[in-house]
Amino acid sequence: MTSDEMDDNEIDDEGRLHLAMVPTNRPCMSCGASGSNLQWRLSGRTYVLCRRCLSAFIEETNQSLGANDPVSSGYQAAEGDLYVHEVRPGWFNVHRYQGDAWEYVTVLQKPQADQLVAGLQLVGESQGIQGQRCYYREIVAPAQRNTPMMDAAEIALLLKAAIPIDDVDQMLAPGLSFIVIWIDISERPDLQVLAEKDGLADGYSICTYFYANPGKRNMRLGLRVEMRQPVHFVLPLVFKVSEYIDQLATMSEYGNFWVVPGPPPAHLVGST
């Protein structure tokens, strides 16, 4: 990946998105105004807006990132804290505080969100333009996380939030063997980027494996894919080991996998 293929944008400590812009004479994509407009790239796309439309866009973006939300007095974020934020009726975004920043984990519907916070301690609340956030902490202080190892609570969260897998297939070829994972993104509108052709071709991600019920017939192998560029999201996947043993062996041997929105094309179903 070369630097000009990446967005030069940054999100600061307070969650504000800073866009790297250049002047352009192209017309505003929103109101059509011509003249001295500004152009930038975001998630691999080019945008042109006049200054007035741009101000409205920045305000909206900052609000959606929560930059302006006041946090209730006395609350201090600690490593491993979660906050749950109702983004639209019945839908909750979950963020986790790790490495001194709030990272998006997943979106859950109310029953799953309730299940997630059951047994956690409510340690703060905030009321912002985008709605209420509730902050939670494990009742027993989590061990200091200096390694990417996951603790039991985090594994439980990922198992609950896992995205349904439609099918897993494998391609075996000399020098290039990989598995293809078809996932159901119907409940994850934020993952629509996966459906966009070449959207993530230059991206990079951090993958962490985890497991549940080791050595048992119902063993699950989990894979947490954290996409860092060009967009940021966390994709928790959980495989039934007994069902996908060959494909998982291929993935562990070659380290290559490809995640695409399902369902798989009919001619591939049952080909493994």
What gap in Å lies between CA 203 and CA 9, rounded to an integer?
15
**Listed residue (136, 126, 9) closest to 66, CA to CA:** 126
With CB under 5 A as the contact rule, which of the stretches 24-32, 60-68, 116-124, 149-157 interacts with Zn ion? 24-32
Cα–Cα nearest to 44, from 95, 91, 82, 9: 9
Report the residue number, 38 or 200, with the smaller CB distance to Zn ion. 38
Give the count of residues interacting with Zn ion (CB under 5 A).
6
Applying CB under 5 A, which part among 33-41, 55-63, 123-131, 256-264 lies near Zn ion? 33-41
Please identify, among the stretches 17-25, 46-54, 187-195, 228-236, the one whose residues bind Zn ion according to the rule CB under 5 A.
Answer: 46-54
- Cα–Cα distances (Å) from 69 to 129, 131, 190, in that order, read 7, 9, 21
Among 30, 130, 205, 229, binds Zn ion (CB under 5 A): 30
Determine if 181 is a binding residue for Zn ion (CB under 5 A). no
- Segment interacting with Zn ion, rule: CB under 5 A, options 15-23, 30-38, 246-254, 257-265: 30-38
Using CB under 5 A as the binding rule, whether residue 185 contacts Zn ion is answered as no
Smallest CA-to-CA distance from 232 within 187, 190, 182, 202 is with 190
CB of 1 to Zn ion, least distance (A): 31
Q: How far is the CB of 56 from Zn ion (least distance, A)?
A: 9
What sign does the CA torsion over 30, 32, 37, 43 have?
positive
Task: State which residue, 39 or 256, has the beta carbon closest to Zn ion.
Answer: 39
Is residue 238 within 8 A of residue 209, CB to CB? The reply is: no
Q: Please answer whether residues 25 and 36 qualify as being in contact, where contact means their C-beta atoms are separated by less than 8 angstroms.
A: yes
Closest CA to 251 of 192, 165, 152: 165
Binding flag, residue 84, Zn ion (CB under 5 A):
no
112 binds Zn ion (CB under 5 A): no
User: Whole-number minimum distance, CB 49 to Zn ion, in Å?
Assistant: 6
Q: Which stretch binds Zn ion (CB under 5 A): 12-20, 27-35, 106-114, 262-270?
A: 27-35
Rounded distance between C-alpha atoms, residue 244 and residue 54, angstroms: 48
Min dist CB 159 to Zn ion, Å, is 46
Alpha-helical regions (H) of the chain: 51-64, 110-117, 152-161, 245-254
Q: Report if residue 50 touches Zn ion, rule: CB under 5 A.
A: yes
Q: Which of 28, 134, 150, 200 binds Zn ion (CB under 5 A)?
A: 28
Nearest to Zn ion of 51, 228 (CB atom): 51
Any idea what DSSP says for residue 247? H
Tell whether residue 39 is a contact of Zn ion (CB under 5 A): no
Q: Which of 52, 103, 88 is nearest to 236 (CA)?
A: 103
Which residues in this chain contact Zn ion in the complex, by CB under 5 A?
28, 30-31, 33, 50, 53
